[in-house]
Structure 1
Amino acid sequence: MRKKHEAPLDTLNSYLPVGAYHTVMQYLGHYKVHLTITKERRSVLGDYRFAVHGKNHRISVNGNLNAFAFLITLLHELAHLIAFEKYGNRIASHGKEWKLVYGEILQQFLLLDLFPPDIANEIKTTMRSPAAGSCAEDGLIRVLRKYDRKGDVKKLVEEIDVNGLFRTDDGRIFKRGDQLRKRIRCLEIKTGKIYLFSPVYEVTPVSHP
């Protein structure tokens, strides 16, 4: 079961890179955002819900992300809010309006000089054509993982040796196969079915089925 708690605004700073708090708070205050931090969530890093019936906009972000990934995910969701406020809620979720707003927000935070050079360079690449998922660009994911807490046993599928075994969060065991163009061919051990994985999908290495 997913566990959420409302983020006390005076402790939000601990989830953010140094220097980001003031500008983030300006956004949250101006748009009256109800922010929650989720500890356990597998399918998404963040989520946005449009304000209805007089209630606040609602954004949730996974609290287990490193500070840079947390901020980028939060900005991704804020871009949804601002795009809907500016252009209406009938626009495409990740259409040109959202990409424009997201790019503008990323540019603002780049000017604050919050990010290490490798992340900043990947963000500049992202700004040219943002992807749909939070932190969905492969290059950005690879760079952000360098700043995760040490000791995490998870790896990216591309880091698993060919013919090596890994387990997904739902407990299924796969054998890694060859790299295709943008996906990696993998065999599910139990069913013998073939699945195509993103190279940057996080999994847990295992030694035997």
Structure 2
Amino acid sequence: MAKAERHPLSSLSHYLPDNTLEDVLSFINRYKVQLTITRARKSVLGDYRNAHGTENHRISVNGNLNKYSFLITLLHELAHLVTYETYRHRVQPHGREWKDSYAAILRVFLEKQVFPGDIAMELHRSLHNLGASSCSEPGLMRVLKNYDNDSIGLSLVEDLKPGEWFVTRDNKVYIMEKKIRTRYLCTAYPSKKQYLFNGLYEIKILEQHPEFP
């Protein structure tokens, strides 16, 4: 399980884009949010737990995200909080009520022009149909990856041509076979097992690799 860390609210500026701390703190203080920053989690970027009993609202966000991904994820979870305050458990987690709350919160930051142009453009484009997962729209995911410090020198599976070799972050080697609908069929070396990859999965392209024996 990812380790959660409590941080003084003043240290949030390290994780956020410039000129956003005051507005973020306004939300956190208004709703008495217990915010934790976790190590990287593969399954989620952030999480929200509603207040109950003596517990305040709790939000967690992965601390390895770039500043823009961190802010968008935090706003996603704050939208869950605002939706819960109004509707409790009477609506779907990512239904119209949540989407309206998320869009309203996003607009606060879009109007202040805190995002680079490419990210702002994708956020404006997605406002009419916001995804259930933070940063989940493919166009937004692509531009956000440009701001990841650990993505330098990496490519995406969708950049590969059939027959090209690549290596994943866990040092496993594959060859890209073909695209199947929205996924990419790849064969592992040397096991020859085949897997379907999301096109936005980050990899390093290999110039050459020995053929299968």
Q: TM-score, normalised by structure 1?
A: 0.87
Residue in structure 2 matched with residue 64 of structure 1 by the alignment: 64
Aligned length: 208
Residues 145-199 of structure 1, C-alpha deviation per residue, up to 9 Å, x if partnerless? 1112166455422234433233365x76543232233222223456655433221
Q: Which runs of 5+ in 2 are unaligned?
A: none
Rounded to whole Å, the distance in 1 between the matches of 2:202 and 2:142 is: 11
Residue in structure 1 matched with residue 105 of structure 2 by the alignment: 105
Residue in structure 2 matched with residue 141 of structure 1 by the alignment: 141
Deviation at residue 9 of structure 1 after TM alignment: 0.4
Residue in structure 1 matched with residue 21 of structure 2 by the alignment: 21
1:117 aligns with 2:93: no
Residue 53 to residue 185, structure 1, CA distance change in 2 (3 Å): same
Residue in structure 1 matched with residue 167 of structure 2 by the alignment: 166
Rounded to whole Å, the distance in 1 between the matches of 2:130 and 2:72 is: 12
Report the AA paired with residue 202 of structure 1: E
Rounded to whole Å, the distance in 2 between the matches of 1:47 and 1:144 is: 20
Deviation at residue 56 of structure 1 after TM alignment: 1.0
Q: TM-score, normalised by structure 2?
A: 0.86
Report the AA paired with residue 96 of structure 2: K
Residue 117 to residue 151, structure 1, CA distance change in 2 (3 Å): closer
Residue in structure 2 matched with residue 31 of structure 1 by the alignment: 31
| SS of match in other structure, 1:142 | helix
Q: Which runs of 5+ in 1 are unaligned?
A: none
Contact 1:47–1:61 (CA under 8 A) maintained in structure 2: yes
Residue 191 to residue 58, structure 1, CA distance change in 2 (3 Å): farther
Overall identity of the aligned pairs, in %: 45
Residue 173 to residue 87, structure 1, CA distance change in 2 (3 Å): farther
Residue in structure 2 matched with residue 94 of structure 1 by the alignment: 94
How do 1:192-207 and structure 2 match up within 5 A?
Answer: 192-203=192-203
| SS of match in other structure, 2:199 | coil
Residue 92 to residue 151, structure 1, CA distance change in 2 (3 Å): closer
Rounded to whole Å, the distance in 1 between the matches of 2:192 and 2:132 is: 31
Deviation at residue 5 of structure 1 after TM alignment: 0.5
2-11 vs 16-25, which moves further: 2-11
